[in-house]
Structure 1
Amino acid sequence: MSLFVRLADWQTDREAIRGIRQKVFVEEQNVPEDLEWDEHEESAQHFLVYHHNKPIGTGRLTGGGKIGRMAILKDARGLGAGLELLKRICKFARVSGQKNVYLNAQVQAIPFYEKAGFAVTGEEFMEADIPHVRMDLTLSDKEPCENADDCNR
């Protein structure tokens, strides 16, 4: 498969992670840089998704099961990379002992997260001048891997 997701480390993978988030959030969505980079960077578990060995997306998992900073480069959208990334983050959370995960989804991304099993659990709020809602997912034993190959990455 030309898509794969791996665990990433802020220290060694910072350039790839920052490059993707800079393009998606700061340049494309006009998120102020001082809001994009926070105190969780070094403690979070980061993930990178690759297409043909090129990093095209990133996301992270912080304390309490919060998924965040999910970003796929514009020219790589539509390949299924976002779902693969989300599945891998959820699997990591489940294997690490989390029973639930949550995220603050941009309102326009609600259908994407609903397809992955997340449910809206909060009122709409503004974050970086973008409307968001909280969404939650209870992790089950078979969630989110569809087959054994997905779980071994």
Structure 2
Amino acid sequence: METLFVNKATNKEELEKVFAIRKTVFVEEQNCPPELEWEHEEESVHFLALMDNQPCGACRWRKTENGYKLERFAVLQEFRGKRIGQALVAAALSDLPEDAHYIYLNAQLTAMPLYARFGFVAEGPQFEEAGIQHFKMVKKG
């Protein structure tokens, strides 16, 4: 039985694993410009997913002027389809302050069903970010 843990990444070693996962998924696999990928790191709360002690996924949340934004959900290709994305969303949501009234994210089209399971609803028009189609999604209830 595979063991999956999602922990807050707090030290340099854990953060380096988070950034390595994001680099693999966003910069190398999805061809996102690296300079778009590395922003707002300091004010963000980062999470690292480990499956059988192997780093396999990452995400973060941060407070913005609009509310709380969940971002940078990334799961390494060889670990996809193992509910890691769900575990990351659940961990990020449970870590938000109790008074987090407005929670949102920008979802790649393929990830929208995942976020919908957690009560996120698409709002507004489809848009492109780093060459990839997205919808803004807002958590309802």
- TM-score (norm. length: structure 2): 0.90
Matched, 1:25 2:3: no
SS at the partner of 2:21?
Answer: helix
Matched, 1:58 2:74: no
| CA offsets 1:13-48 (integer angstroms, 9 cap, x no match) | 22101110011000110001111111x101100011
Q: RMSD in angstroms over aligned alpha carbons?
A: 1.5
CA distance in 2, matches of 1:10, 1:113: 28
CA distance in 2, matches of 1:117, 1:94: 17
Larger proportion of strand = 2
CA distance in 2, matches of 1:133, 1:113: 11
Q: Letter of the 1:46 partner, please give it.
A: H
CA distance in 1, matches of 2:9, 2:47: 5
Q: Letter of the 1:90 partner, please give it.
A: L
Larger proportion of helix = 1
Change (3 A) 1:129 1:5: same
How far the C-alpha of 1:110 sits from its partner, in A, is 1.3
Match in the other structure for 1:107: 109
How far the C-alpha of 1:105 sits from its partner, in A, is 0.2
**Unmatched tracts of structure 2, length 5 or more:** none
How many pairs were matched up?
A: 137
How far the C-alpha of 1:121 sits from its partner, in A, is 1.2
> Which consecutive aligned stretches of 4+ in structure 1 deviate over 2 angstroms post-superposition?
9-14
